[in-house]
Amino acid sequence: MNEIIIPDEIITDKIYLIRNQKVMLDRDLAELYGVETKRINEQTKRNIDRFPEKFMFQLNENEFEILKSQFATSSWGGTRKLPFVFTEHGILQLSNVVKSESAVRMSIKIIEIFVSLRQFLNDNLSIKLEIEELKKKSINQDKNIELVFSYLDELIEKQENPIQRTKIGFKK
């Protein structure tokens, strides 16, 4: 079995966040699978029951324009139809309908990258939460230090400007 030698960064660069979901374009998947985009779309349509909207959806005009604007040079050519995008689960389903050995191996590699991205985001979230907790503690400590300094200022002021009090008791 031939090992796929495609750097993870190439696949990672083809993952987009659209509608708050990490997705890949049909044309990018076709390129990675070594098939034509129309083949992916044909297989998807033939097996549409495997692809609910949370697995696959078609971009609207606005989403497509935003996506195109992210590229400095347009390599979209004469795209006539709005592209379909596939979530992690949609990519897993694609490996069942695009029946080539390379597509199956590539799907596995893509899923592994999705999993590592999710783990990376979870790790970063826990670090972010820890930093926020430290910030809260720091703010509380700053307030306490300010309070100590204000008490010290009051004490120093009392020592520098003592209030003359009337003495009571026996006089000599």
pLDDT of 2 higher than 60: no
pLDDT-based confidence at residue 85 (cuts at 50, 70, 90): very high
pLDDT digits (tens, 9 = 90+) for 86-141: 998 888 888 778 777 777 777 778 888 888 887 887 777 778 888 888 888 888 88
Query: How many CA atoms are closer than 13 Å to the CA of 77, on its beta-carbon side?
Result: 5
Please check the confidence at residue 73 and state whether its pLDDT lies above 60.
no
pLDDT band at 77 (very low <50, low <70, confident <90, very high): low
Continuous segment of H or E residues that includes residue 72: none
Domain 8-125 has CATH 3.40.50: no
Per-residue confidence band for 4, with pLDDT thresholds at 50, 70 and 90:
low
pLDDT for position 3: 55
Q: Closest by alpha carbon to 85, among 9, 35, 151, 15?
A: 15
Neighbours of 41 (CB within 10 A): 17
18: nearest Cα among 74, 49, 51, 62: 62
Q: pLDDT at position 66, please? A: 83
> 21-25 and 15-18: which strand pairing?
antiparallel
How far from chain centre, in Å, is Cα 48? 28
Q: What is the DSSP letter of 169?
A: S
The predicted model gives 71-88 an average pLDDT of: 72
What counts of helices (H) and strands (E) characterise the chain? 6, 4
In the chain, domain spans: 8-125
Q: What confidence tier does 55 reach under pLDDT thresholds 50, 70, 90? A: very high
d(CA 97, CA 6): 22
**Beta carbons within 10 angstroms of residue 39's beta carbon:** 16
Q: What is the pLDDT of residue 1?
A: 47
Residue 44: half-sphere exposure toward Cβ, Cα within 13 Å: 24
